Structures are given as C-alpha cells and as structure tokens.
Amino acid sequence: MTYVLHQLIMISIYLILVYATNLVTGLGGLMTMAQAAFYGMGAYVYALVALNMPVGFVASCGISLLVAGLVAWILSKVVLRFRGETFVLATLAFQMIVFTILDNWEGVTGGSYGLSEIPRPSLFGWEVSTVPEYVLLSVIVAALITGVFWVMLNSPFGLSVRAVRDNERAAESLRISPQKQLSRAFVISSVLASLAGCLFASYVTYIDPTSFSLTESIFILCILLVGGSGNIIGPFLGVLFMILFPEGLRFLGLPDESAANLREIVYGTILIVLMYYRPNGFKGIYSVK
Amino acid sequence: MRKLIWTLVILVVVGVFGGRVWYLNQHKQIGDNVVKIGGFLPLSGPLARDGVEFLKGLKIAQNQINNDSQYNFKIDLRMEDSKFSATQAVSLFNRLVDSNALISSGTPSTASIAPLLEQHKIPTISLINAEDKTILASSQIFRGWIAARTTASEIGHYIVSEYPEKTVALLRTHSSTDAKEFEEGLLGQLNKIGKQVQATETFAVTDMETNAQVLKLMDKNPDIIVVYGYAQGYIAAINSLIRMGYKGDIITTWDIEMNSSLIPNNASGIYFVTPTYDFSELVKEDKTTNNNFFVAFGYETLRLLAEAMKNGTKPEQIREGLANLKDVETGFGKVSYDERGELYLPPFVLKQMQPDGTAKVVKE
C-alpha cells in the first residue's frame, strides 16, 4: 500500500513539473532543457533554509521560490534572445552549470553526497510525517497548480503567450510584447518547478545532484511530449503513463539479470511507436517545433 | 490509431497481471519459513555491469543457503534495479518495506533511504560503499566490503614503510565524499613521517581522457602517483598516465585487476593494494567467477546475512546478529562487524600487475 501511495506522491510532483514545462514548451513553443535545474534549485534552497534556519515549511518554500524566480528572471534576459535550437542549447548550458555547481560546491550543497536529514513539512501545526499525510499534501498542491494552470490557459496572459507561439510578428502587431510574455511564462514555470523541488526534498528528506541531472530535464520533457502539450489533460495523461508504465513493467516477471535492460527496451520501443503514431502526444494541441 | 492504443493497453495489462501471477507462483514454491531479503542494485545504466555481477553472487549464495540443512529458513531474494538513483531507491524502498533485511549498493541509493531505514528499523548491508559518512547515516546500515579510507591507509602505510624518501602525488575523482576520505586516509599515513602529497589533480568518473591533469602532475616530477577512482574516468586516468609516458611508480586500488584488459599491456607494472579472496568455493558453483570481486561481494554479503539470521530472522534480530558477527570465515578470511556497522577485514596485500594480466603478490 505504501508503494501505491508513494507513486501518488511522485505523480503529484511530476504533474507540477510538467505543467511548469507546459507553460514554456506547450504554450510558449520553446523547448526548455533547464527544468531539472530549477527543480534542483528549489529542492536545494528549501533544504538549506530548512536545515539552517527554523523558519517553517511555508517560509522555506517561499524563499526557495523567490530565489528560483529571481534566477529565472535574470536568465530569461539572456536565453529569450534566442529561439528554436539556440534556445534549447542556452537552457541546456544553464542546466549543466547548475548541475556542476550542485555536484562540486561541497561546502554548501554537500557535493555528490548531497544533503540529508531535511525536515518534513509542518503546516500551521500539522506535522506531515507519514506517507498518507504526504499524499494529501502533494495532491492538494498538485490540484491547486492544475487549477492555476487551467485559469492561466484561457486568461489574457495565456492567450497572449499562445499568440506569440503561433506568430510572433502578428502578436507584436497586437501590441503583445513577446519578450515580456515569454519572460513571464519562463519565470512562472521556473517558480513552479522549484515548488516541485521543495515538495520532493521535504518528502524524500535526502537530495543529491543525480536527481536533477540533464536526464531528468529530458524525462520531464518526454512526459509532456508523450501526454501532449498546450492543454491541461495532456500532461496529466503523460505523467500517468510515464510514471506508472515503467512501474508496471516491474511485474512482468522477466529474469532478474536481464529484466532491467529488457524493461528499458520495451519502454523505449513503446515510446517510439507512440511518437510515430501520435507525434502530438496522447492529447496534444501542438507538436513541438 | 484507437485500435493500436487499445491493443497496447490490453497487452500491458495482460503482461503485468500475467507476470504478477508468475512472480507469485515462483515465490510460493520456496515454502514455509521464508525470509524476505530485498534490495536494489544498479542493473541498468553505467554501473549495470557491477550490479549484474553482484546479483550473480547473491543468487549463488541463495541457492547454497536454501539447499543447506544447517539453516532453518529459506531466502526469498527480491532484487530491483536502482539505476544508481536516489529517487528510484526511495521508490523501491516503499515496495520492499516488508523485507526482513535489505541489500543496497552505492551512495545515492543508500544515503537516500537512511532516514527510512531508521524509521522502519530494517537492517541493510550496503554492498559497496566506499565512504564512512553513509555508513554512519543510520544505525541500520552495515558496510559491505571496501572502505576508501582503509584502502588509502593501506597504500599510505606501504609508501611510508618501503619508500619514505619518495615524493607522492595524487590523482583522484573529484567532488565525491569517498575520494575526499581516500585523500584523508592517505595523508593520515604520510603525515606520520612528516610527508605531504606533493600535488593533487582530479577527474570526473565520466571523463574519457585526463591528459591535462596527468601532464600537470608530471610537471611536479613525483616518484609515485597514487590513483583513486572508478568507472570510465578511472580507466582514462590510468591510460593517460601510461600514454603520457609517466616513468615513476603508479599505486592504485584493486579496481585495476578487474579492468586490466582495458589498459595497454594489461596494466603491467602497476602496483595495487587489495584484499585477498579465495575464489575456490565460488568457482565450484560457477566457473566464470574467477577473480571477480563483484560476484564475491554479492556472495559473501548474503552468507553474512544468513550467518546473522541463525539466531532469529526478525529485522531487529538480524541487526543484532550482524553487529555481533565476529571472526566469521569468508573467502576474504575472517571478518567481523562492530556495533556501528563497520566491517573489519584481514590486512590487504600489495600486488603488481604482470604482462599476462595476472597479478603477483609483492608484499604481504
């Protein structure tokens, strides 16, 4: 049972991450490779604040989101000068820089060993210490973010970001500033990724750089592409499929020595087949350029 | 398209449930008084080779134990793929939480579950965990085999006693706690005679070449270069030293013997410290395991757990049993655990690689 509850927590955390990515990639049309960097930044800042300052869960999260927002805003000034492959490379570079810092700044981040004994959340007297309690917290947060994303999707902001995606020049002629709208989307997306990082760090109570590598950024992007970008249901389907499917494969009863690699092959093959027949994902509005 | 998706869904559902039924049947056959030993090893990804070898050793031991009448229990071994990731380890822990004991491998996996082990009180042997910090992270974690600090101490001791006048440089992996502990262990010995490491250069475990670091070290002209690391970065470091024409002595860890075929001239001339292992028992079971420490680690780990379970198979009894294991006969010689989970092995020997890929004992 704990195992199923754990999967629910991971689904909630990844749902936040994928909605965050959906803002920049699905609505904005820019494929970002830096989501794991902000996810990691959120986790590390939360952990460092919670370990060193007894300010509580909400304040620790708040500081973490502020830091991620500020870094994203500064970064957006640089990376949003680019579009297409150049934007991918710029965010990829940022991802690598953050990972290298997490892996090497031993005095602060603990280097490759990471940070342990991160406190569990305490919200207005509610000690979130058991797995079922954590399910409740993470599902509530994920539901809130889904709601926020749903509102944003059809808000003037959401529509203007989509307009920029579809035709930047046409959007400009309607007095929409592409730079400003994309920058907002990028900052909000990074802040949401950082929130997922706070939840992850406080749940696992141990973090190390391997959880926030480039592979993680690619995985988040894969979830979005498989589920479908630019809407609300696609990311949800993507998260369900990409989290539960590999877990389901564990029950296939393959021989132990080759099971892990065979599962990866089955998983990869099904992804290729899916992308071939559904390039927009299960329920995607756009295919990623 | 809908047809395809539905076919896929049906296939997956049938596969998963069919697999589950098969899995349950397999495990039912073991019978009564079954002890569940769960664990996670890197069975895919860059460290998969190590994980698969560990698993081989574990299975050999499982077969032996389950067919040995001196044990009044059978072992149900449930090994999962950790992908060498902290997130995976936490996820798997929740699947294996009903285990009587666990076996893990690697720092991210073991350190990430340390708080959970403490909470659920499940004794765990960390198969290969070179650093002290992880072992001390939970009272439930016991060291499996090699400690970086101990290995470095053995190398340092050899240098101090045999070549006190020679200058020493260090080439090691960067930003890893075990490499730092290795350096501390080496310095601890060298400082005894007022000696320092002349220069240190580092490399990443994923590095494909380390020529720049090696040339920088060679500029200092050290008599001995000590190399510490693992995976492809380690092999690249040794290869760079040979390719760049370093003429002094290279002293390293037992990893060199495992990887000598990837190094020119079978790494001939390179010294290394190593525990000694009598493979005869393993070879009896599986002829391919000769000189493979990873299989030996897996094999001996399960045998130690079985030894600890002789007086009871509940998690708290297993923990107690492990902490009280003293002078247990293994292929490595007599080994003991202490209350903190530290493992005590017989002293290492110094060996030198030969051109034919074998290693000769130079100093016992």
Q: Is the pLDDT of residue B295 over 60?
A: yes
Residue B216 lies in a domain: yes
Q: Of the candidates B118, B84, B106, B260, which has an alpha carbon nearest to the alpha carbon of residue B178?
A: B106
Question: Is B106 an 8 Å CB contact of chain A?
Answer: no
Residue for token pair 């690391």: B229
pLDDT number for residue B20: 61
Residue B200 lies in a domain: yes
Residue B229 lies in a domain: yes
| pLDDT band, very low/low/confident/very high, at B305 (cuts 50, 70, 90) | very high
Percent of chain B at pLDDT > 70 equals 89
> What is the per-residue pLDDT across A172-222, written as a single tens digit (0 to 9) for each?
999 999 999 999 999 999 999 999 999 999 998 889 888 899 989 999 999
pLDDT number for residue B4: 57
CB-based contacts of B24, cutoff 8 Å, min separation 6: none
Say whether both B33 and B89 belong to one domain. yes
> What is the per-residue pLDDT across A66-124, written as a single tens digit (0 to 9) for each?
999 999 999 999 999 999 899 999 999 999 999 999 988 878 998 877 888 899 898 88
Say whether both B162 and B309 belong to one domain. no
Nearest CA-CA distance, residue A123 and chain B, Å: 21
Q: Find the mean pLDDT for residues A15-43.
A: 95
Q: Which of residues 108-127 of A touch B (CB under 8 A)?
A: 111-114, 116-117
| pLDDT band, very low/low/confident/very high, at B290 (cuts 50, 70, 90) | low
Interatomic CA distance for residues B93 and B243, integer angstroms: 44
Percent of chain B at pLDDT > 90 equals 34
Q: Is the pLDDT of residue B291 over 60?
A: yes
C-alpha B297 chain-centroid distance? 7
Given a contact cutoff of 8 angstroms between Cβ atoms, the answer to whether A64 and A171 are in contact is no
Q: Find the mean pLDDT for residues B187-194.
A: 89
Given a contact cutoff of 8 angstroms between Cβ atoms, the answer to whether B158 and B249 are in contact is no
Say whether both B176 and B101 belong to one domain. no
Q: Closest-CA residue in chain B for A257?
A: B52
Q: Find the mean pLDDT for residues B198-225.
A: 90
pLDDT number for residue B87: 81
* Chain B partners within 8 Å of A114 (Cβ): 86, 108, 111
Say whether both B206 and B320 belong to one domain. no
* Chain B partners within 8 Å of A254 (Cβ): 19
Mean pLDDT, all residues of chain B: 85
Say whether both B259 and B333 belong to one domain. no
Say whether both B116 and B153 belong to one domain. no
Q: Which of residues 18-77 of B touch A (CB under 8 A)?
A: 18-20, 22-23, 26, 43-44, 48, 51-52, 55-56, 59
HSE value, Cβ hemisphere, 13 Å, CA-based, for A88: 10
Nearest-Å Rg of the Cα atoms of chain A is 19
| pLDDT band, very low/low/confident/very high, at B23 (cuts 50, 70, 90) | low
Q: Which helix (H) or strand (E) holds B252?
A: strand B249-252
Say whether both B49 and B102 belong to one domain. yes
Say whether both B161 and B255 belong to one domain. yes
| pLDDT band, very low/low/confident/very high, at A129 (cuts 50, 70, 90) | confident
How far lies B25's CA from each of A249, A253, B55, B61, in Å? 18, 10, 21, 22
Q: Find the mean pLDDT for residues B305-331.
A: 92
Interatomic CA distance for residues B125 and A258, integer angstroms: 23
Q: Could you tell me the residue range of the domain that residue B84 belongs to?
A: 29-146+278-344
Q: Find the mean pLDDT for residues A132-141.
A: 94
CB-based contacts of A115, cutoff 8 Å, min separation 6: A44, A47, A48, A51, A109, A201, A206, A207, A208
* B44 token code pair: 């895919």
pLDDT number for residue A287: 62
Q: Find the mean pLDDT for residues A122-151.
A: 92
Q: Is the pLDDT of residue B26 over 70?
A: no
Interatomic CA distance for residues B305 and A97, integer angstroms: 43
pLDDT number for residue A34: 95
> Cβ of B8 and A116 within 8 Å?
no
CB-based contacts of B36, cutoff 8 Å, min separation 6: B76, B78, B96, B98, B99, B100
Q: Closest-CA residue in chain B for A206?
A: B112
Q: Is the pLDDT of residue B22 over 70?
A: no
Q: Is the pLDDT of residue B47 over 80?
A: no
Interatomic CA distance for residues B290 and A232, integer angstroms: 56
Interatomic CA distance for residues B54 and B56, integer angstroms: 5
Q: Find the mean pLDDT for residues B22-28.
A: 55
Say whether both B195 and B81 belong to one domain. no
Q: Find the mean pLDDT for residues B141-146.
A: 87
Interatomic CA distance for residues A116 and A127, integer angstroms: 19
Residue B129 lies in a domain: yes
Strands B224-228 and B141-143: unpaired
Q: Is the pLDDT of residue A235 over 90?
A: yes
Mean pLDDT, all residues of chain A: 90
| pLDDT band, very low/low/confident/very high, at B21 (cuts 50, 70, 90) | low
Picking from B224, B245, B274, the residue at the C-terminal end of a domain is B274
Residue B40 lies in a domain: yes
Helix/strand/coil (H/E/C) assignment for every residue in chain A? CHHHHHHHHHHHHHHHHHHHHHHHHHHCCCCCCCHHHHHHHHHHHHHHHHHHCCCCHHHHHHHHHHHHHHHHHHHHHHHCCCCHHHHHHHHHHHHHHHHHHHHHCHHHHCHHHCEECCCCCEECCEECCCHHHHHHHHHHHHHHHHHHHHHHHCCHHHHHHHHHHHCHHHHHHCCCCHHHHHHHHHHHHHHHHHHHHHHHHHHHCEECHHHHCHHHHHHHHHHHHHHCECCCHHHHHHHHHHHHHHHHHHHHCCCHHHHHHHHHHHHHHHHHHHHHHCCCCCCCCECCC
* B165 token code pair: 């006048």
Given a contact cutoff of 8 angstroms between Cβ atoms, the answer to whether B335 and B343 are in contact is yes
Q: Closest-CA residue in chain B for A131?
A: B94
Q: Is the pLDDT of residue A247 over 90?
A: no
Interatomic CA distance for residues A20 and A35, integer angstroms: 8
pLDDT number for residue B359: 87
pLDDT number for residue A272: 86
Q: Is the pLDDT of residue B141 over 80?
A: yes
Helix/strand/coil (H/E/C) assignment for every residue in B178-234? HHHHHHHHHHHHHHHHCCCEEEEEEECCCCCCCHHHHHHHHHCCCCEEEEECCHHHH
pLDDT number for residue A70: 97
Residue B20 lies in a domain: no
Q: Find the mean pLDDT for residues B282-295.
A: 76
Picking from B225, B251, B274, the residue at the C-terminal end of a domain is B274
Q: What are the helix (H) ranges across B121-175?
A: 132-135, 148-162
Q: Is the pLDDT of residue B28 over 60?
A: no
Say whether both B98 and B173 belong to one domain. no
Say whether both B187 and B215 belong to one domain. yes
CATH number of the domain enclosing B260: 3.40.50.2300
Given a contact cutoff of 8 angstroms between Cβ atoms, the answer to whether A37 and A98 are in contact is yes
Interatomic CA distance for residues A237 and A242, integer angstroms: 9
Say whether both B105 and B187 belong to one domain. no
Q: Of the candidates B273, B264, B272, which has an alpha carbon nearest to the alpha carbon of residue B246?
A: B264
* B273 token code pair: 């410290």
Q: Is the pLDDT of residue B27 over 70?
A: no
Residue B357 lies in a domain: no
Picking from B247, B274, B301, the residue at the C-terminal end of a domain is B274
Domain count, chain B: 2
Residue B212 lies in a domain: yes
